[in-house]
Amino acid sequence: MYEQNEIYEQVLHELIGPFVELKSASLVAAGNHNQGIRLSSSEGDFFLKINFDHEKDTLIKEADGLVKLSSSTFLKVPEVYGTGRIEDYNVLLTEFIPQGRYQLDYWENLGLGLAHLHLTSTPKFGLDEDNFIASLLQRNHEEDTWFDFFVEHRLEPLLGKAYFDRLISLEFLKKFQGIYPSIQDIFPKEKPALLHGDLWSGNVIPTKDGQPCLIDPAIYYGHREMDIAFSKLFGGFDSKFYEAYESILPLEPDFESRMGVYNLYPLLVHLNLFGTAYLPGIERIVKRFTR
């Protein structure tokens, strides 16, 4: 069994080059599935994400998402150096982003950059491959309409998982499915937009020069209002962000009335990951759209 530093050295040697010397390693983030390590080396600092998910390619999909984001917006996105598997570890090595203080134009630039991202389009909703949101599989089978994609590949898989794991009752599952006719026509007709997919405040960090950097994406082509709704679910985004976004891509009227429907997806994600503390929020939205 390798020692931790030996693993870190092997990551650097395989993904950067055999000439790289590891100087130090420090833990900067730890979650239920991943650890984030700052590797200081003779070639500078790197960020290593590492996990033990033997049957999942979460980090490969994350790397794909980062590369796609980087090519689709002027916002900062960490450069990807590579992915791989060492011993029992899955690894993703990226640029290390030193953090600083917000500059005065931070929120405006974030809004403009997200609008720039959302202008990237494709004919169908979805993606050419499945990926993950956190540790949960995110199905991306392409569909012609947002309603079909949203119901079949966002709501139904996680609703079924919640029922299978006994987080919801059969009665509530049927009640939830009963809102589909009510929500079918509430979404504005728009082209598919490239989404970050997991846009909460923890997935946007200020760089050393105080500008926004996007991390931890769960990308797909969806309705652009999904990202906006997700950003409002847990708060943390300044009003200047929304004003700047709408200066490029104004939201259609009555967005606030649709916002809860979009957020059924992230709430189902949290229900499946963290338990029934998130169920009341789902129940309130479902009640509002129950006929």
Q: What is the pLDDT of residue 140?
A: 98
**What CA–CA distance (Å, rounded) separates 31 from 9?**
23
**What CA–CA distance (Å, rounded) separates 16 from 45?**
12
Placement of tokens 């009963």 in the chain = 178
Q: What is the pLDDT of residue 1?
A: 39
Average pLDDT estimate for 87-114: 94
Q: What is the pLDDT of residue 246?
A: 98
Helix orientation angle between 279-289 and 255-262, rounded to the nearest 10 degrees: 130
Establish whether 198 is a catalytic residue.
Answer: yes
The catalytic residue among 198, 209, 238, 254 is 198
Helix (H) or strand (E) holding 164: helix 156-164
Superfamily grouping for domain 106-289: Aminoglycoside phosphotransferase (APH), C-terminal lobe (3.90.1200.10)
In whole numbers, what is the pLDDT of the chain averaged over residues? Answer: 95
* φ, ψ for residue 285, nearest 5 deg: -70, -45
pLDDT(111) > 90: yes
Beta carbons within 10 angstroms of residue 226's beta carbon = 25
Average pLDDT estimate for 171-178: 97
Q: What percent of the chain has pLDDT over 70?
A: 98
Q: Domain ranges in the chain?
A: 4-95, 106-289
CATH of domain 4-95: 3.30.200.20
Confidence band for 54, pLDDT divided at 50, 70 and 90:
low
pLDDT(124) > 80: yes
Q: What is the pLDDT of residue 289?
A: 94
Sign of CA dihedral 12, 78, 62, 135: positive
Q: Which of 54-58, 112-116, 189-193 is predicted least confidently?
A: 54-58
167 and 275 in contact (C-beta within 8 Å)?
yes
pTM given for the model: 0.94
Average pLDDT estimate for 144-149: 98
Q: What is the pLDDT of residue 30?
A: 76
pLDDT(283) > 50: yes
- Opening angle at CA 231, ends 193 and 116, nearest 5: 35
**What CA–CA distance (Å, rounded) separates 143 from 154?**
12
For residue 187, which of 153, 134, 149, 133 has the smallest C-alpha distance? 149
